[in-house]
């Protein structure tokens, strides 16, 4: 059982370039999320999805786009990368009506540097 898989683990991107961070879960969770964690800060929600075909903005969506064509996959697209997007990105999934942790499972993260 792989859980939540993120690729790549590390990446260096040049200013103005674009890339897609991949996220796949095999737990049949309906909810999926993208968070970013800046140094010394908590996790901030970028986008989330409550099911295939449905996405919505979180707290810090600017500069990002997402899509959810299947239950398993939730890629995060960075367009015109900026240094402010240097961060560690975490994908998570959950099955929201399942206690005690709502089945909230995180991937191991993608460390992205924009230079």
3-state SS, 25-43, equals: ECCCCCEEEEEEECCCCCE
Q: What are phi and psi of 84, to 5 degrees?
A: -65, -10
Q: Is 66 helix (H, G, I), strand (E, B) or coil?
A: strand
# residues contacting another protein (CB under 8 A): 28
CB of 54 to another protein, least distance (A): 11
| 27 lies in the binding site for another protein (CB under 8 A) | no
3-state SS, 80-115, equals: CCCHHHCEEEEEEEECCCCCCCCCCEECCCEEEEEC
Closer Cβ to another protein, 1 or 14, answer by number: 1
Binding mask 47-86 for another protein (x = CB under 8 A): -x-x-----x-x----------------------------
The span of 11-19, 45-53, 70-78, 79-87 binding another protein (CB under 8 A) equals 45-53
| 40 lies in the binding site for another protein (CB under 8 A) | yes
Residues that bind another protein (CB under 8 A): 4, 31, 33, 35, 40-45, 48, 50, 56, 58, 90, 92, 94, 96, 99-102, 104-109
């Amino acid at each position: 059982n792989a859980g939540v898989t993120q690729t790549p683990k590390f990446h260096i991107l040049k200013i103005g370039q674009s890339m897609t961070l991949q996220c796949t879960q095999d737990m049949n969770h309906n909810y999926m999320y993208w968070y970013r964690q800046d140094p010394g800060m908590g996790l901030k929600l970028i986008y989330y999805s409550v099911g295939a075909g449905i996405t919505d903005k979180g707290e810090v969506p600017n500069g990002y786009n997402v899509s959810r064509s299947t239950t398993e996959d939730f890629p995060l697209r960075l367009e015109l990368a900026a240094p402010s997007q240097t961060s560690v990105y975490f994908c998570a999934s959950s099955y929201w009506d399942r206690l005690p942790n709502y089945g909230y499972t995180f991937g191991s993260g993608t460390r992205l540097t924009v230079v």
